[in-house]
């Protein structure tokens, strides 16, 4: 049996694979994931492919004098920009920051289609988060919208913005594809995401985590010492 789990350790998030082998002496094999560099290279390749695809579209439009298709260009541009955010998250240190929700939503508007607007209801909220991951999450949500209006409401719990409710109409299949792809980042800031066709509820972590970087896990972390155990 092969399983993958995420573990919170020392305010960090670590992905672990484990396998259970049954027999006379059942055994559990635990491995930490060490594929970060390979994953980065794969993401960079995706960015390059998207840029090439975008340039190919421009070349066809110019050479063949094809009528400009706004929707096709908008969808392709969003894919490139979202991929760029993912790449920038991987290449830079993640830092927490208190951000203004209204100002952040203004930056997200470029992902909206021509007929879509974003409306923040109520107070101008502030949230302590990792801005680029927060920005990535909302870019994916807005890109998955199929409605003309996206309404956003915040909920304060213990003087902190803990819940955000988003109303509109969404392509859930498209959004799920996004969230599966960036799940390891979302877990750093989000406790739970409940997505339905007409509403999305975001619940944020009480504390911001960081990706686990100490793959070797020194013995002192676990008060572990090498000893020979007897049965």
Establish how many alpha carbons lie within 13 A of residue 220's alpha carbon, considering only the half-sphere containing its beta carbon. Answer: 1
95-109, 137-151, 198-212: segment of lowest average pLDDT: 198-212
At residue 2, φ and ψ (nearest 5 deg) are -110, 135
Which pLDDT score, from 0 to 100, does residue 210 have? 54
Who has greater pLDDT, 230 or 171?
A: 171
Mean pLDDT for 76-99 is 83
94-216: CATH class: alpha beta
Average pLDDT, the chain: 77
Residue 8 has pLDDT above 50, yes or no: yes
Check pLDDT > 70 for residue 213.
no
Report the first-to-last Cα separation within the chain, whole angstroms: 26
How far is it, in rounded angstroms, from Cα 138 to Cα 186? 11
- Least reliable range by pLDDT among 59-73, 78-92, 113-127, 163-177: 59-73
Would you say 64 and 56 are in contact if contact means Cβ atoms under 8 Å apart? no
The pLDDT tens digits of the residues spanning 13-72 come to 556 665 665 556 665 655 555 444 445 566 667 767 767 777 787 787 778 777 777 887
Please provide residue 218's backbone torsions phi and psi, each rounded to the nearest 5 degrees.
Answer: -50, 150
Rg of the Cα trace of the chain?
Answer: 21
| Residue whose tokens read 């959004």 | 175
pLDDT at 212: 44
Task: State mean pLDDT over 80-105.
Answer: 84
Task: For residue 145, count CB atoms less than 10 angstroms from its CB and return exposed for 0-12, middle for 13-18, buried for 19 or more.
Answer: buried
Domain positions in the chain: 94-216
pLDDT at residue 217 in the model: 40
Which residues does residue 6 pair with via DSSP β-bridges, in sequence order? Answer: 15
Is residue 129 exposed (0-12), middle (13-18) or buried (19+ Cβ within 10 Å)? buried
pLDDT given at position 35: 43
Cα 8 to the chain's mean position, in Å? 17
Residue linked to tokens 């502030």? 126
pLDDT at 137: 96
pLDDT for 223 beyond 50:
no
- Write down the pLDDT at residue 111: 94
3-state secondary structure of 47: helix
Confidence band, pLDDT 50/70/90 cuts, at residue 184: confident
Of the two residues 214 and 96, the one the predictor is more confident about is: 96
Per-position b or e across 52-82, b if 16+ CB within 10 A of its CB:
eeeeebeeeeeeeeeeeeeeeebebebbeeb
The half-sphere exposure of 148 on its side-chain side, counting CA atoms within 13 A, is 1
For residue 61, what are the CA distances in angstroms to 53, 75, 115, 122? 13, 16, 24, 44
């Amino acid at each position: 049996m092969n399983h993958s789990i995420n573990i919170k350790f020392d305010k960090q998030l670590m992905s672990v694979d484990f396998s259970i082998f049954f027999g006379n002496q059942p055994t559990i094999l635990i491995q930490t994931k060490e594929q970060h560099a390979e994953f980065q290279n794969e993401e960079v390749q995706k960015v390059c492919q998207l840029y090439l695809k975008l340039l190919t579209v421009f070349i066809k439009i110019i050479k063949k004098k094809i009528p400009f298709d706004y929707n096709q260009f908008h969808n392709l541009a969003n894919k490139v920009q979202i991929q760029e955010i993912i790449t920038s998250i991987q290449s830079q240190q993640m830092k927490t920051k208190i951000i203004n929700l209204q100002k952040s939503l203004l930056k997200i508007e470029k992902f909206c289609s021509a007929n879509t607007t974003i409306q923040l209801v109520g107070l101008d909220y502030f949230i302590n988060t990792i801005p680029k991951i927060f920005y990535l999450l909302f870019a994916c949500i807005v890109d998955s919208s199929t409605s003309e209006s996206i309404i956003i409401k915040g909920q304060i719990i213990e003087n902190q913005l803990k819940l955000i409710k988003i109303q509109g109409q969404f392509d859930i299949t498209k959004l799920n594809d996004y969230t599966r792809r960036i799940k390891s980042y979302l877990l750093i800031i989000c406790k739970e995401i409940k997505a339905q066709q007409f509403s999305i509820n975001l619940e944020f972590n009480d504390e911001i985590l960081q990706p686990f970087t100490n793959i070797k896990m020194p013995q002192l972390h676990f008060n572990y010492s090498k000893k020979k155990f007897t049965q």
